[in-house]
Amino acid sequence: MLFQTRWFKSLVTAILIFILIYLISITNFIFVPVGAYIAAIAVPIIGAGFIFYVTNPIVNYLEKHKIPRIAGIIIVFLLILLVGFLLVNYIAPIVETQFNKFINNIPNMVKQSKTVVNLWQDSQTFLPEQVLDYIQEFTNNLDTYVENITGFLIEFIGQIFGFVFSFFLIPFFLFFMLKDGDKFVPFISQFLSEPKANSFKKLTTSINHTLASFIQGQFIVSICVGVMLYIGYRIIGLEYSMTLALFGLIMNFIPFLGPFLSAIPAVLVAFFQEPMTAVWALVVMVIAQQIESNFISPNVMGRVLKLHPLTVITLVLAAGGIAGFLGLLFIIPAYAVLKTITAHFYQEWKKDQPQNEQNII
C-alpha cells in the first residue's frame, strides 16, 4: 500500500529527477556537440517560428478562399519581400542617420549633464556632505555610465544584425513550417497508443494556441504602439523620432517592463533637446500606453497568459541577467509554454488518479 500512495510516487519522481540532473551534470561533455548544434539552428528556427505564427493566418485565409496552399505561401513570401524592400529603402536610411547623429552627439550631452549637475550642486547649501560626495562621484563617472549605456546599445544593435543575418536560413525553415506544419502532430501520433495520441494532440493544440495568441497579439500591439509613439514624437518635434519609436516598438515585446525601458532614452533625448520637451515625451508615452493597455491589448490579446505582474518582473529580470536581451524577449512565451505543459500533465494525472485509487481498493 505504501508504494501506491500519492506522496511516495511524488517523492520517487523528485528523486529520479535529481538523479537525472546529476548524471547530466557529470556527463555534460556528451551534450556539448548537441548544444552547439542546437545553438546553431536555434535562431533560424525561432525566427521562422515567429514569422510562421504571424503569417500562417494569412495562408489559412487564402486557402479557405480556394487558393492552393503553395500559392498562398508564395504570396506571403512576396509580401515579406515587399515589407523588407520598404524597410531597407525608406526606414533603414533614416534610422541609420538618426542613430549616427545620436552617437556623435553623446559627448555634447555628457558635457551638458556635467554643467547642469555642477551648477545645481554649487547652489545647494543644505544637503548633507555624503549626498554631495555621491553626486560628485556620479558626475565624475558620468563618462563611464554613458559609455556602458552606449556599449549596451551597440551590443543590442549587434544582436539585431546577428538575428538578421540568420534570415538567410529562416526562409527555408519558414517555407516547410507553412507547408508541412500540420503534418507534425499526425506523424508523431502514429507511434503512440490511442489514449496517448489523443493526449499529445490536446497538448500540442494548447501549446499552439498559447504561442499563436501571444506572438500574434504582441506583434499587432507592438506595431500599434510604435506607430503611436512615432506620431506623438513627430507632433512634439522630438529628435531621432523614427529611431526612438522603433526602439519603443521592439521594447514593447517585453511584457510589463518594456514600456519603461523604451521611455528612458526618449526622455533623456528630449531633456537635452529642451527640458519641456521631456515632459511632452512623457505625456506621449503615457497616452500611448493607456491606449494600448485599455483598448488595443484587451481586444487583440485578451488575457492569454494570465500572469501576475510580479511573476513577469521576476522572470524578466532573471532572464535578462542570464541571457541578455534575447532572454528578455523569449522568457515570457517560454514560461507560458512550460506552464501549459505542466497544467496539461497535471490534468492528465488527475484524470487517471480515481482509476488508480479504485485499483488500490
Section 299-312 average pLDDT: 65
On the question of pLDDT at 24 being above 90, the answer is no
Instruction: Give whole-number Cα distances, 86 to 93, 162, 219, in Å.
Output: 11, 20, 18
- pLDDT on residue 361: 42
Most confidently modeled range among 103-112, 252-261, 340-349: 340-349
Cβ pair 209, 254 in contact under 8 A: no
Q: How many other C-beta atoms lie within 10 A of the C-beta of residue 209?
A: 12
Higher pLDDT, 8 or 2: 8
Least confident of 29-43, 102-116, 130-144, 296-310: 130-144
Query: In angstroms, rounded to a whole number, what is the distance separating the alpha carbons of residues 68 and 56?
Result: 14
Query: In angstroms, rounded to a whole number, what is the distance separating the alpha carbons of residues 282 and 237?
Result: 13
Count the alpha carbons within 13 Å of 240 in the hemisphere toward its beta carbon: 25
* Confidence tier at 310 by pLDDT (50, 70, 90): confident
- Tens digits of residue pLDDT in 267-294: 888 888 888 888 899 999 889 888 887 7
Q: What percent of the chain has pLDDT over 90?
A: 10
Amino acid occupying residue 118: N
- Tens digits of residue pLDDT in 183-222: 888 888 888 888 888 888 888 988 888 888 888 888 888 8
Instruction: Give whole-number Cα distances, 287 to 47, 96, 234, 292, in Å.
Output: 31, 27, 15, 9
DSSP of 332-345: HHHHHHHHHHHHHH
Q: What percent of the chain has pLDDT over 70?
A: 71
Least confident of 3-17, 69-83, 186-200: 3-17
Number of H helices, E strands in the chain: 14, 0
- pLDDT on residue 96: 83
Query: In angstroms, rounded to a whole number, what is the distance separating the alpha carbons of residues 70 and 279?
Result: 51
* Confidence tier at 233 by pLDDT (50, 70, 90): very high
Kindly report the average pLDDT of the chain as a whole number: 78
Cβ pair 238, 102 in contact under 8 A: no
Grid cell for residue 92: 533603414
- pLDDT on residue 346: 81
Alpha-carbon Rg for the chain in angstroms? 26
* Confidence tier at 356 by pLDDT (50, 70, 90): very low
- 347-354 long-range contacts (CB < 8 A, ≥24 apart) are 348/199, 353/6
Q: How many angstroms separate the first and last alpha carbons of the chain?
A: 10
- pLDDT on residue 145: 60
On the question of pLDDT at 152 being above 90, the answer is no
Task: Please give the DSSP secondary-structure letter assigned to residue 133.
Answer: H
Q: Which of 108, 113, 101 is nearest to 240 (CA)?
A: 101
Section 7-35 average pLDDT: 75
DSSP of 290-305: HHIIIIIHHHHT-SSS
Exposed, middle or buried, 289 (CB in 10 Å: 0-12/13-18/19+)?
buried
* Confidence tier at 75 by pLDDT (50, 70, 90): very high
pTM for this prediction: 0.70
Section 93-109 average pLDDT: 79
On the question of pLDDT at 113 being above 80, the answer is no
Domain ranges of the chain: 35-121+134-191, 207-347
Grid cell for residue 202: 490536446
- pLDDT on residue 74: 93
Task: Please give the DSSP secondary-structure letter assigned to residue 87.
Answer: I
Cβ pair 6, 14 in contact under 8 A: no
